[in-house]
Each structure stands twice: as C-alpha cells, then as structure tokens.
Structure 1
Amino acid sequence: MMRTRTAVSIAVAVVVAWLAIGAFAGPYSGKLAEVSTNDNASFLPAEAEATKAQNLAKGFVDRETTPALVVYERAGGVTDADKARAAADAQKFAQIQGVVTPLSPPIPSQDGQALQVVVPIDSAEGDQIRSVTDQLRTIAGTDAGGLSVHVAGPAGILSDLVEVFSSIDGPLLLVTLAVVLVILLIVYRSPILWIIPLLAAGMSYTMAAVAVYFMTKADLIKLNGQSQGILTVLVFGAGTDYALLMIARYREELHHHARPVDAMKAAWRGAAPAILASGLTVIAGLLCLLLSSLNSNRSLGPVSAVGIGATLIVMLTLLPALLLLGGRWAFWPRVPRDDDQPSVGRIWRPVGRFVGRRARPVWLGTSLVLVALAFGLTQLGATKLGQTEQFTQNTDSKIGQEVINRHFPGGQGSPVTIFTTTDTATQVAAAAKGVSGVTAVQPLPAQGGPGGSGAPGGSGQPGQGQPGQPGQGQPGQPGQGQPEPAPKVVDGRVQLQATLAAPADSQQAEETVRKIRTAVHAVPGAQAVVGGFTAIDLDTADASVRDRNVIIPVVLAVIAVILALLLRSIVAPLLLIVTVVLSFLATLGLCSLLFTYVFGFPGVDAAFPLFAFVFLVALGIDYNIFLMTRVREESGKAGTRTGVLRGLVVTGGVITSAGVVLAATFSALAVLPLVVLVEIGVAVAAGVLLDTIIVRSLLVPALTYDIGRKMWWPSALSRADATEEGNRRDRAVEQL
C-alpha cells in the first residue's frame, strides 16, 4: 500500500509541476508570429550572388525600401478621370507614414488599359509594410465604375503572406485540436480517456513554443510562418502517436497486473525505449537540415527538433503520471481487468495469418504497387511556383500581379539589378541588352530616378524601383530628346536596372537571369554581380537542389546507424531503409498526380522534395521502430517468425491509429491558403497512410517473416531461435 501511495504522490507532484510550468509558458504559444520573418532574401546564404548584390545595393540608397505596385485597370482603356484619380491617390499615398517620397506620377501601359503607381515603403519590418499596404488598399478602394484597383508587388505579396501566417496561432491550432479530439474519441470510445493524451500534447506544444520563441528572440534561429505551421501539426501529431503507444501498452499491462502502479512500471519499461528511439531518430533526421545552405531550411531543423524533444519529455513524464492517476477507470466504459486476456483488434489476427501464409507474394506484390506509384515522379517539379502562385486563394496581390502581367512588361516593377565597375558599365549594359528576354537596361541616375526616391531597386530587395520604358518620357527615364542622366557611382561601381519581358517570378525570368549572369560575367574586369527579385528566387532554387543532394544521403545514413544500434542488426536497418525510401518515392509519385489532376496546383515549391523527404522518412521510420522493437522482443521469446506475427497483431491497432492521427493532423495544414503548406500536408498524410497500411502492415512483416532469423544478423538472435523453429513456416501461423 505504501508503494502505491508513494507512486501516486509522485504522480501528483509531476502533474502539479507541469501545470505550473504550463501556466508560465502558455502565453508564449501565441507570440510566435511576433518573431517570425517571411522575406526570402533573408534566408539566402551569404555566398549567393543575390545576397552579394543586396549588400552592394545598400550603398546606393539612403534606406532600403520594398515597393508596392498600385495598379488601375479598365478594359476599354483608362480615361482622363481615371488618370486624375490615380494621381490624386498618389498624393494621398505620399502622406502615409512609412512611404518614401517623392512618388513618381502614374505610369501608363502601352496598350492604354492600365496605370501603375510605384509606392516605395520603408523596409524596417514586415508589420510596417503590412500596415502601409493596408492603408494603400483603403485609399485606393475597390473596383468602381468599371475601374479595378489592386495593390501588388513585393509589398503586396509580403502583406498577404503576413496576414496568412498571423492566422496560424488561431485556425490551424483549433483545427488540429479538433482533428485529434475526434480521432481519440473514435479510437478509445471513452468520455474520459481522450482528455489525457490531448492535455499532454497541448503541454508539449506549449513547451516547444516557448523554447522556439526565446531561441528566435535571441537570434539563434530564424522562424518563418512555414516552420511555425509545421511545428504545430508536428508536435500534436507526434505527441498523440507517442501517447497512443504508451496508453496501448498500459492497457495491455493492466490485464497482467492487479495494481495500476505495477502495470504502469511494466508499460513504461516496454514502451519508453521505442518512444525514445523513435523521437531521437526524428530529431536526428531533422537536425540534418542544419547542413542546409538556406537559413529557412536550417532553422526548420532545430525548430522541429525542439518540438519533438519537448514532446518526448512530456510524454515520458506527464502522460504516465496522468494515466496512473486515472487508473483503470480512465478507460471507462471498456475497463481492462486483471484477467490475463488482453484484447486484440479483430482484424489483426487474420492479417497476421495472411502475412504468415503468403509472405513472399505479399512483400513482392506490395513492392510492385509502390514501384508503380513511384512512376508518377516523372510529372513532379515540371514547373515551379511563382510568388503569386503560392496562394490557394485569389488574394489582392495575386490578382494585381495578373493585371501587371497583362499590360506591362513582365519584369517591370521587379528589375534585375546589375552592379559593375564604372569603366565597364557600357560594355556590361550592352551585354545585358543582348540577352534574349531583356526589354530595357538603364543605369541608376545620380539624381531623381524612377520611383521618385532616387533609388529604384537600390536596396536590392525584390522588385524595388520602377524603370520606365525608354522613349515614353516617364519619370526618371530619358524621353525623346532628353539627355541621358549621369549614373550614380558608389565606390567605383554603378547599378544597372534590367527589365525582363517575362513575369519576374516565372521560370522564363529565371532562365533569363542565368543568361544575363553568363553574359555580364564574361565582360573582362567587370566584376559584375546580378541580383534582384528574380535572382533571389533563382539562387533559392539552386540552394534547394544543393541541399537535397547533400542532406538526403546524410539523413539515410544517420537513421541507418540509429536503427542498427536499436535492433542490434545490420540486415534489418538496411532493409527498413529501403522500404521507407520506396514508400517515399511512391508518395511523391502519388502526390504529383494529386497536385496536377485533383488540386490543380501550378507547380511545387523548390524546397518541397527535401521537406517531404525529411518528414516522411523521419516520421515513417517511427512505425517501423514501433513494430520491429516489439518483433525483436517477441522473437527472443518464441522465434523470429512467431515474433513477427505476434508483434504485428499486438501493435497493429495502435500503430494504425497513430498513423491516422498523424496523417489527419498534417492534413490540417490545408486550412492555410498557401500551396506549399498544403503540398507538405498532403504529402505527409499520404506517405504516413502508405507506411501504416502497406509498408508497416504488410511489406515489412512479410519481408521479415520470409527472411526469418537472418534478419537479425549479426546478433546472437540470428544464429539460434528460442523455439528452434527452423524452416517450418506453418508453426508460427499455428501459434498465433
């Protein structure tokens, strides 16, 4: 009795301590948006050419700006009244705090159907840009009398992104909680038990959020909205998975022990190693992202790893304490009795028998199915997402950019910036003009200039400045009969602005930038550096390819080592890695078909394959760890083939439930109107379901059963089975 009282007292102390910690940390979970940033340029490596251009550009301006492009469109052609309205709006725009003045007059399109006002905004911070953009939209108004008005450009896109990410703490968290709650009610069919894992998962998220907040505040990591959204679903998904495993083992042990204290001790000893190994494997895989050259990828690793680490601590301390305090009655109305007869899902004994009797056809057949799905990879990544294409909804910036693309040169408003020496400026300009896809090249003038700020694009930020079209007499550009303005010189360098024919966020624009770089780099002594909005996208995509080629092999090697140590085998880890990679390829193939023919997405984000790989492999290996650690435990008692079937039957229900929970929580990312997060959510959900239903339930058990004790080579378990079952495969099925 004293032992029970002592254990209960410890459990109460643990729960009280965690509640006190939660009371302190709770408010910080709603503050992550305050420390996040969503500027692509800030994530580029220092050695990227676009980063070097950005640094050079700072010398050409008094302060950095991000332009908003206010565009007016009338299908029959803009009227004099429309021009007067746009000019009046421009005067009002100039009075907004944060707008860099003076502003240039409205710029007409060559077809006469649109006007454009460039509004440079002080790039102090994202919140200020959003505030100014909102005021621009209020002044400009909405469609009226056939004239449509939209605020686009980098500032418009960033404002819409900030608005999307600011909603992460609310809708995404609520949807995730609702999804987990519904699944827990279905799994446990108990009015009480669902509270325990949900409370533990919520505490895990709170602890992860406060750690990430202070790490970001201290500038140890960079947090963006994408990482923030993934952190939410990852913690709740993984936390619920670990809770399901612990609760299932506790329920099983309650059938073998009269006292809940003894049952919990046995459950903790049985489940904790698998949970710990799973969590450490995921953490190790995520930390491989530190090898990324992109700051956004590099920060996602520790952000997610902190989330998993917090989840492990909570699930191995708070969760057992809550379960112990709940005792048997936490499972009401299906209370487990001390009857030595644990219940097993009705479908898993037949599945075990099927795998045992048809092992080789099962693993061959499932492998062929996965290979067939992998052929869909041929359509993945055929196109990339443009900046405005990353929204699943028609945002104001997206519609405005479409208007700009219809009536202005595609790259107008987002020029390519070229920095070169004064002695070679003429040759570099000529080389850039000779590139197919470039419509104009102009130097940054020493006084005045496009956009009225005297520094179009001078900050090197995406799309800054507004080069006019030659011969039209637009502000800052030499019209007919006007002298060429003297270029601005800083430390012996000048800045050139190249306007592209293609939209600045298109693949055609990126190819043009590649050609520009080749052309200007070939000019002797030019020391040319090419940057700007399109160059940032291009360098980001190139860095993503480099990261994928470096990080994927490292992740596989790290996970293989962890599995080898855990299973004390070489054969088993290698085969498990092969099955997970096959599952990953099949998932990407399936997703490419879904993205194209179901969701109608225009392309995939450059970082999508790497993110999908890290999360699918790191999380997918979880279910193999849960299964194979139990299989190894049972193999030591009854032989490998019997152990495989027993492990499958005992863990089948809980692992399947865990997979459904994780898939459902990542599916919650679909509530955010961003293509990349929807793609990641769909990929992880589809991959986890493939892992739990096909790989873990059929492929791995059948392959292990067919290979037998050699699966554990070179450990002692591979040399002698406990039951000396030899080659008699039918005996294992009979013992099930």
Structure 2
Amino acid sequence: MGAGQTTGRRRAVPWVMLALWIGVLAIASPFAAKLADVQRDRVTDYLPAGADSTQVAEIQTRMPGGETTELVLVYHRDGGLTAADRATADRQVRRIAGEHELTGTPQGVPSRDGTTLMYPVTSNEPGDDEDLRTEFVDDIRETARSTGGLTVQVGGPGAVSADSAKVYDSLDGPLLYTTVAVVAVLLILIYRSPVLWLVPLAVAGIADYLSMGVAYGLNQAFGTTVSGASTGIMTILVFGAGTDYALLIVARYREELRRIERPYDAMRAALRGCGPAVLASSGTVAAGLLCLLAADLNSNRGMGPLGTVGVLCALAAMLTLLPAVLVLLGRRVFWPIVPGYGSTPKERRSLFSAMGSSAGRRPVTVLVTGAVALGALALGALNLPGDLKQEDSFVDRPESVTAMLTLAEAYPERSSQPITVMAPAGRADATLEAATATEGVESARIGRTGDGWTEVSVTASAPPQTDAETRTIERLRDTLDGSYVGGPSAQQIDLEKTNARDQKVVVPIVLLSVLLILVALLRSLVAPLMLVAAVVAVWGASLGIGGLVFGPLFGFEGTDPALGLLSFVFLVALGVDYGIFLMHRMREESLGGAEPAAAALTALRTTGGVIASAGLVLAATFAVLMNMGLVSLVQLGFVIAVGVLLDTFLVRTYLVTSASVALGRKVWWPGRMAQAPQPAPLVREPERV
C-alpha cells in the first residue's frame, strides 16, 4: 500500500466512525424518548417475583377497577377533638365521597384518648395508572385540609406509594444534571485544559442517550423491569465507568503522542496498549451486574441488565467515538499542555512514586497494617441499624409517613394498616372465618370479588411492622391454605427474606464470574485471588463505615435490606476495574524484562494518577445518590463512594502493590511468568591446538 493510500485511510477512518455514530443515534433516538413511558415504580416492581405479597398485588390489578388505592384520613388535635373538628371531618369526608368513586362509605374510628379520628378510604378510581393514583392522592389532600389548629393528614399505603413515586419522578432530571456537573468539574481539574474535558463528557452523554434506547428495547423484547432506581444507576454507570475508560485511554494516548508523530498512529498504539485492560474491566463489571439476573427480587433483577447496558454503551463509545474525535481534533485538544512529538514530560516525584517506595521498602509490614485497618473498619458493620421500615424510608418525612406515626401513637392497640388476603372465590366465607379466629387478628371483612378471587381485609391487633404483627401474618399464611397474604407489612417481610436469599445465591456467582475473567486476562491464579480478596475486604470496610455513620451521623433508623447485595456487586465489579488497570500494566512491564518489584512500582507510578482520577470521578458520581430523597439510595451511594475511595487510595496503591512486591514472581503462578528467567548458557570457545 502506498504512502498516499495510508494517509487517506488515516483521514477517512475517524470520519467514517463519526458517521456511523450519527446513524446509530438516529436509529436509537425514537426509542430513547420512550424509556420514560415504560418506567414503572409500582409495588410489584420492587417485590420478589414469587412471594405471597406479589401475588396479592398482581391479583388486585386484575380485579374490577384494577389495583385498589387505600388511604387513611387522619384528623388530630393535641388537646382533644372538638365537636367543630368532628363536623369539619364529616364535611370533608362527605365531599371526598361525592367527588370520587369510593369503595363503601368511609366510617370514622375515634381513638381512645379522643385526640384523633381516622377514616379509612378505599377506591379503584385511579386503577393501575401511577400518574392517576398520584393525582387522586393530591386531590384528596387538597380537600382534606388542616384548619384552626386541627391537623389533617392523608396516609395509608396509597399515599406512601404516591409520595415514593414523586421521589422517583424527581430522580431523572436532578440526577442527570448533578452527575454531569460533578464529572465536568473533576475533568477540568484533572486535565487543566479548557477544551479537553468537553470531549469525554460529550461522548459519555451520547453513550447515556444510546443506553436509554437499548434499555427501552430490552423492555419491549424481554419485559425487563425498568424502574426509577435502575435507570438512575444506569446513568451513573455510563458517566462514572465511561469517564474512567476515557481517562485511561486519554492518558495512554498522551503518552504515545510523545513517541509517535501522527495522532492516528498514536491512538492505534494507545488502544493496543490499554484496550485489553478496558475490555476486561468492562467485561468484569458487565458479568458482575448480569449475575443479578439470579436474584428473585424484581428491582434487583431488572437493575442487572440495565446496568450492563450502561457499561457496554459507555465502552463502545469510549473505544470508538472518543478516539475518532480526539484524532480529528489533533494535538491541539490538549492545549495549553500539548504533548509534542519527541518531547519528554517534566520529571517530578509524584505522590504515587512515594507511595510505591514505602510499599516497596517494607511490603509485609504495609500489607499487614492495611489488612488490620480494613478488618477493624469492617467491625463497624455490627453497628448497622436493623431493617429499614416503610416509615423510615424517606430522607425527609412526607405527609404519608407523618400520618402513620400519628396513627401509631393514637391507636397503640390496633393496626392502622390492613393485611390483604386473597382467597379463592368459593372459599371466601371459610377464609373469613379462619382469619377472624387467628390469634392476633382484631377484625376481618370481605371486600371485592372478581377474577376468581375474593379480597379479605384483615386488621391486626398489633401496630404495623412490629414483631407481633409479623407473627400474625405468619399465622395467617400457615392457616389459610390456598390463599395469599399481602399488604404493606407482608411486603416488607417478603423483601427481607428474599434479600437474604438473593445474597446467598448471587454473591458466589459474582465472585466466580469475576475470578474466571481475571484468570483469563492475567493468566495466573494468585493475582486474581489477591484482587478478589482485596475488593471483598473493601466491601466489608465500607459497610463498617456505614454502620458507624448511618445512625449516629445521618440519623437513619434502619438499613435497606438490599444494601449488602447491591453494594457487594458494584464494589466487587467496579473495584476489580482498578486492579485490572494496575496488574495489566505490571504484567506488561514484566514481559518487557523488568524484575517483579520494579514492575510493580513502575505500574503504580505510571497508572497511579489515572487510577486516582478515575476513582475520584466514580466515587463522585455515586455520591450524587446521597442527594436523593430515599434512604436506600443515600445508603447505596455512600457505601459505594467510600468503597471506591478506599480501593483507590489504600488497596490499589498500598496493599496490592506491597503484596505484589512481597510475592515476587509467585504472583503470576502457575503461569510461565512465575518462573525465573534462565541465565543464558556460557559458550566456550574451542581450545586452539
């Protein structure tokens, strides 16, 4: 091939790649715009697939009028309700009954101390439409207003669901804008260039838009659950992981531009050098997330495919679109610090050189000290608060939760939250009789009938989500053969049990899949085991730090049951990323003839800055979740952000490096690199006669 043809190809390839991406976005655009239409945050989207409570919720949606919206109107005055207060309550409730289609006539239930009057309100008017349900609750709140010292609150499962939906609806805009702003600021500080930071940020935005289109396609083709939490995590992964890959590629590209004259050739060399590490790291994250398909909890199982879509879209964009744009812009994109051909970067002792030196001098001491520190931090997990209750799931208590607390104080002798039993239509009377006779049940009544089922509403004598109510629900499930027992409290029980089951199933699968990928990449058994042990230690320490701050500092009353599993999957998959970056460079140096200790220290010196930058970006993107309104998202964002920082500045820099120095060539066992090179045989000259 002639020189002219080669030059022409260099010029054409980036433009062709750019044109391909324009075509891809044109195809994906109509689907991306529809993702919000299929996003669901219904109860069944966050419940175990096969649980009793899920069956109850699904049967309710098939009954006449669809899913029931259950509310409780709470009228309260500290000094005791007056006759005028009761008249106001009666007037407001009659107006609500006249404006909406209610199931039955609401009857007031006074508290024993005379301070509170509650009206259970049930309606099928909103059906299964989340937006209509939220509008219905807002209309009720507009009518049931506080006045003259009389406090009026709207609570109940329907109100909690509406308040939760508002939080999830608010995630899309603020989450995206905050994530983009955080990544932009960090890229400006990292690159110290007025132009360069725009390139990876714009490419990440394009990848995010593509991921929305692919996520919609998955939903339509396979029925993949799309929830507010899963789409939020997908966006964070696109910007967090995508920016990490961009940092590694740009750093290697800058390095190659000093050795190679043409940007196209420099980029090819950069991708050959760091491409395998980027592919392996993204493959690890994708494999770890796909393991969530083994979960029984719908929300967790749906998060796996969507998170994988985010990572793979980010990978595709950073390996194809980013290089094309950088090549087209040429060296000037790095202004004002332009890497000139043949130039050498200014030599200066970096922080990571100093860290490597300390780890290299006393590797065993550093390793033991770090391991003890992580173990001590992990003990903080013993201080994690118990399972998160429904009323504690919001960062700022909405009206629905305040109403629940008022009811719990005013009616300590009974539950204000019904237990829903779905009985076969032919056994409704027998089920009602058996439920009424069950220990812990105060009353029971028959509600709707349809689709072969009869709805029985059961009131427990114990307050909601207490040990006594839990025992009542378990007795009902043991007694009522052929029936399903659900409702908010039953859902909470099923969530806790299923999360415990999912953790036992998913965690081993994640560990095995990640380990196999590392073995294939590093062609070793010791190095992968070392990396996996390191990220598991980071996970334990991060949960421990959470245990030290969630209650005392943040004031959280409980821990999300899914926190352990989700934080494990993300920290193991994402944490191994940085181990791959470090160990891949270490292997490259070893293949080049460097001694084990020198290879480890060189790898840390050359990749430490990139890993630190990538860790800061990833931690900051997950920390954005701490600004959301749900305790579960705040806890997940905190644990992952802390874990990434621990992994970046302690485990990768000190522990993995010191372990590699201490093990020497054994770190590559049983591969060929574990063997010491054989000295060249002496060649004796023949004796002259």
Taking structure 1 as the reference length, the TM-score comes to 0.86
**Equivalent residue runs for 1:351-366 within 5 Å:** 351-366=355-370
Q: Aligned match of 2:113 in 111, 114, 118?
A: 111
Q: Aligned match of 1:243 in 225, 243, 246?
A: 246
Residue 348 of structure 1: how far off its partner (Å)? 2.0
Secondary structure of the residue aligned to 2:676 is coil
Aligned partner of 2:685 in structure 1 is: none
Aligned in 2, Cα 1:418/1:346: closer, same or farther, shift over 3 Å? same
Is 2:604 aligned against 1:648? yes
Aligned partner of 1:208 in structure 2 is: 211
Letter in 2 for 1:117: Y
Letter in 2 for 1:442: A
Aligned partner of 2:144 in structure 1 is: 140
Would you say the 8 A contact 2:74–2:155 is kept in 1? yes
Aligned in 2, Cα 1:410/1:323: closer, same or farther, shift over 3 Å? farther
Cα deviations by residue, 1:16-75 (Å, 9 ceiling, x for unpaired):
432454456457656544322222334444532333445666798664312122222111
Aligned in 2, Cα 1:324/1:506: closer, same or farther, shift over 3 Å? farther
Is 2:657 aligned against 1:701? yes
Cα deviations by residue, 1:394-434 (Å, 9 ceiling, x for unpaired):
212121221222223552232353748468547733652x2
**Equivalent residue runs for 1:5-44 within 5 Å:** 5-22=8-25, 25=28, 31-44=34-47
Would you say the 8 A contact 1:33–1:166 is kept in 2? no
- Name the CA distance, whole Å, in 2 between partners of 1:607 and 1:321: 40
Aligned partner of 2:521 in structure 1 is: 566
Aligned partner of 1:588 in structure 2 is: 543
Is 2:555 aligned against 1:600? yes
- Name the CA distance, whole Å, in 2 between partners of 1:416 and 1:328: 67
Secondary structure of the residue aligned to 2:552 is helix
Would you say the 8 A contact 1:639–1:721 is kept in 2? no
Q: Aligned match of 1:429 in 421, 435, 442?
A: 435
Secondary structure of the residue aligned to 2:161 is helix
- Name the CA distance, whole Å, in 1 between partners of 2:231 and 2:341: 44
Would you say the 8 A contact 2:287–2:514 is kept in 1? yes
Would you say the 8 A contact 1:53–1:419 is kept in 2? no
Residue 345 of structure 1: how far off its partner (Å)? 6.5
Count of residue pairs brought into register by the alignment: 670
Aligned partner of 1:300 in structure 2 is: 303
Aligned partner of 1:500 in structure 2 is: 460
Is 2:501 aligned against 1:509? no
Would you say the 8 A contact 1:157–1:397 is kept in 2? yes
- Name the CA distance, whole Å, in 2 between partners of 1:608 and 1:139: 39
In the alignment, structure 2 segments of 5+ residues that lack a partner are 681-689
Aligned partner of 2:421 in structure 1 is: 417
Aligned in 2, Cα 1:517/1:640: closer, same or farther, shift over 3 Å? same
User: Larger deviation: 254-263 or 644-653?
Assistant: 254-263
RMSD: 2.5
Aligned in 2, Cα 1:8/1:144: closer, same or farther, shift over 3 Å? farther
Aligned partner of 2:635 in structure 1 is: 679
Aligned partner of 2:683 in structure 1 is: none
User: Larger deviation: 162-171 or 687-696?
Assistant: 162-171
Is 2:620 aligned against 1:664? yes
Is 2:382 aligned against 1:378? yes
Aligned partner of 2:684 in structure 1 is: none
Residue 378 of structure 1: how far off its partner (Å)? 1.0
- Name the CA distance, whole Å, in 2 between partners of 1:56 and 1:24: 38
Residue 260 of structure 1: how far off its partner (Å)? 1.4
Aligned in 2, Cα 1:407/1:575: closer, same or farther, shift over 3 Å? same
- Name the CA distance, whole Å, in 2 between partners of 1:119 and 1:635: 72
Cα deviations by residue, 1:561-592 (Å, 9 ceiling, x for unpaired):
00000000111111111111111111111111
**Equivalent residue runs for 1:92-131 within 5 Å:** 92-96=95-99, 99-122=101-124, 123-131=127-135
Aligned in 2, Cα 1:528/1:169: closer, same or farther, shift over 3 Å? closer
Aligned in 2, Cα 1:597/1:695: closer, same or farther, shift over 3 Å? same
In the alignment, structure 1 segments of 5+ residues that lack a partner are 445-453, 460-489, 725-736
- Name the CA distance, whole Å, in 2 between partners of 1:351 and 1:62: 66
Aligned partner of 2:508 in structure 1 is: 553
Letter in 2 for 1:128: L
Aligned in 2, Cα 1:58/1:203: closer, same or farther, shift over 3 Å? closer
Aligned partner of 1:474 in structure 2 is: none
**Equivalent residue runs for 1:50-129 within 5 Å:** 50-54=53-57, 63-96=66-99, 99-122=101-124, 123-129=127-133
- Report % sequence identity: 40
- Name the CA distance, whole Å, in 2 between partners of 1:394 and 1:265: 54
Residue 95 of structure 1: how far off its partner (Å)? 4.2
**Equivalent residue runs for 1:707-726 within 5 Å:** 707-721=663-677
**Equivalent residue runs for 1:163-202 within 5 Å:** 163-202=166-205
- Name the CA distance, whole Å, in 2 between partners of 1:538 and 1:158: 17
Aligned in 2, Cα 1:605/1:68: closer, same or farther, shift over 3 Å? same
Is 2:599 aligned against 1:639? no
Taking structure 2 as the reference length, the TM-score comes to 0.92
Aligned partner of 1:336 in structure 2 is: 339
Letter in 1 for 2:106: S
Residue 115 of structure 1: how far off its partner (Å)? 2.1
- Name the CA distance, whole Å, in 1 between partners of 2:432 and 2:147: 46
Aligned partner of 2:373 in structure 1 is: 369
Aligned in 2, Cα 1:140/1:571: closer, same or farther, shift over 3 Å? same
Letter in 2 for 1:83: R
Would you say the 8 A contact 1:28–1:206 is kept in 2? no
